[in-house]
Structure 1
């Protein structure tokens, strides 16, 4: 059984972004009393093969030494944050980051990444890697960006889909663990009710639509509030694009939770425009919940 099984898994690369992600993951492991698994995907030969350049043994050995030190330092930092009661394991596989982390996601509680890896000596956690893991992981993926705070509400986007239901379940759990209020945001757009070029094909009763959207959110919350009586819930129903609302709420939230579309195709297309916008522009950590996630 992998050390990642039932653990919070964090990917590091030595950059400041991944160090923030490491501390965030360690704090969550402490809060949840769950194990933490630190992954430093080490693929030093990847940059040499295309150029046809041989790698001298002493150069490779030096890269391994630096990698081992980076991982050891990360484990010490995690221990300082998580305390002695959290089990911390680590690994340095000789593979590219994205496939390693997607593989570890199969049994993990969540994957935690920094928003960018530029600055680490291997540059592991580039934006494209973060997007790829977020798109393909089989557990929730938390991308640590923006403000680093434990104050503020947990915010979740709700659109009535199966994906947002899974995100809503995860958001309730996160709010409960954190002792934070939950803000459930349902944003609906005129585009749902208008034709091409914004033309109205029929007379639209916006008041009736507003009531329907209120009912949709109430139905999504039904039962979940009863299962989490400790979580104070605020409902927000607004006529706007979801990405605009969630980005605005990220300015005061400690975490934004969103589902992903999961329609297939290339990595970026798996996420949808709202998830993509949050990964790149949110002012707080973002958690993407993939289709099929059942914990």
Structure 2
């Protein structure tokens, strides 16, 4: 029996500079992993507020289609990597819904940080949150393209719970394939405890808590260390906010990998200020991995 075709890297484009960055990253990743690249653009239809006449509607719909096809074709021509299989898809309808559906057959969904048309304000509104939280494969947001020729590490946020298993697996798989090190970052600050200490209600031996956090992280990483003995692992434990630790460790990184939700400091990562800060300000592409993809 022949092996199944590899799942593609899917990249959304809209003609913006941010989408061009995402396209370059996605093409390089597909080429490295020997996977096909699918370039997709979605134009919204129907358009809210457009004149409700058949003639105007038909002209507008055709203009959107023509522009989307031009964007997709420019993107296809911009990809020039030997041996890379490239397919272009132009779709009409709901941007989030169609991309989410397409992600079910993809290895990765790659998005730019902000764009034009249906992707306007992607990092400020519901589009990225919806796709990162509900995409059916890991979602990569490319705000800054890392130097793919460098040796930057893969940084992964670890909250020492069951929900970060897929994020750890992704980080170690990618590091093993690229020869990168893994920086496993665990922040253990707890705002409730900090407040109780500050109010004088309890005395806490922070050194004891730090040692316990280091022990938990070592235990959590043990299965991946055993499975990937050739991958260098750098555990980092700090009493700080998760977003501060992640952004600090992401400096010079090839990737920053986070789970879509967790407990403790990483709880609700994609729903509040932590996720917004990570995706907006990380100096490298951010990979969001859901615990229950597909």
| C-alpha contact (below 8 Å) 1:5/1:107 kept by paired residues | no
The 5 Å alignment of 1:140-159 reads 140-150=138-148, 151=150, 152-159=152-159
CA distance 1:38–1:218, shift in 2 (3 Å):
same
More displaced 10-residue stretch of structure 1: 127-136 or 178-187: 127-136
1:111 corresponds in structure 2 to 109
Contact 1:194 1:201 in 2 (8 A): no
CA distance in 1, matches of 2:130, 2:21: 20
Q: Separation in 2 of the partners of 1:75 and 1:178? A: 26
> What TM-score comes out, normalization by structure 1 length?
0.86
Summarize deviations over 1:202-228 as a string: whole Å, max 9, x none.
332222211110111101110201211
**1:126 Cα deviation (Å)?**
2.5
Matches within 5 A, 1:1-295: 6-43=7-44, 45-49=46-50, 52=52, 55=56, 57-78=58-79, 80=80, 82-84=81-83, 86-117=84-115, 120=116, 123=119, 126-127=122-123, 128=125, 129-150=127-148, 151=150, 152-191=152-191, 193-196=193-196, 198-199=198-199, 201-261=201-261, 270-293=270-293
Q: Distance in 2 between matches of 1:125 and 1:178?
A: 32
User: 1:3-51 CA distances to partner (integer Å, 9 max, x unpaired)?
Assistant: x9821111111111011101100100011111211110122541444x5
More moved, 269-278 vs 14-23: 269-278
CA distance in 2, matches of 1:17, 1:53: 34
User: Within 1, Cα distance between the matches of 2:144 and 2:244?
Assistant: 16
| CA distance in structure 2 between the partners assigned to 1:88 and 1:286 by the alignment | 23
Give the conservation status (yes or no) of the 8 Å contact 1:116–1:130. Answer: no
SS of the residue corresponding to residue 72 of structure 2 reads helix
Once the two structures are superposed, residues 221-254 of structure 1 have per-residue CA deviations (whole angstroms, 9 ceiling, x without a partner) of 1020121123111111111111001111222212
Alignment RMSD: 2.5
Rate the CA distance shift 1:10–1:241 in 2: closer, same or farther, 3 A.
Answer: same
Shift of 1:71: 0.8
Instruction: Summarize the Cα distance change of 1:220–1:48 in structure 2 as closer, same or farther, 3 Å threshold.
Output: same
How many residue pairs align between the two structures? 281
Mapped contact 1:163–1:289 kept (Cα < 8 A): no
Q: Give yes or no for contact 2:95–2:118 (8 Å, CA) kept in 1.
A: no
Give the CA deviation at 1:281.
1.4
Report the CA distance shift for 1:62/1:69 in structure 2 as closer, same or farther (over 3 A). same
Note if contact 2:114-2:122 (Cα within 8 Å) is conserved in structure 1: yes
Per the normalisation by structure 2, the TM-score is 0.86
Q: Show structure 2 runs of 5+ residues with no match.
A: none
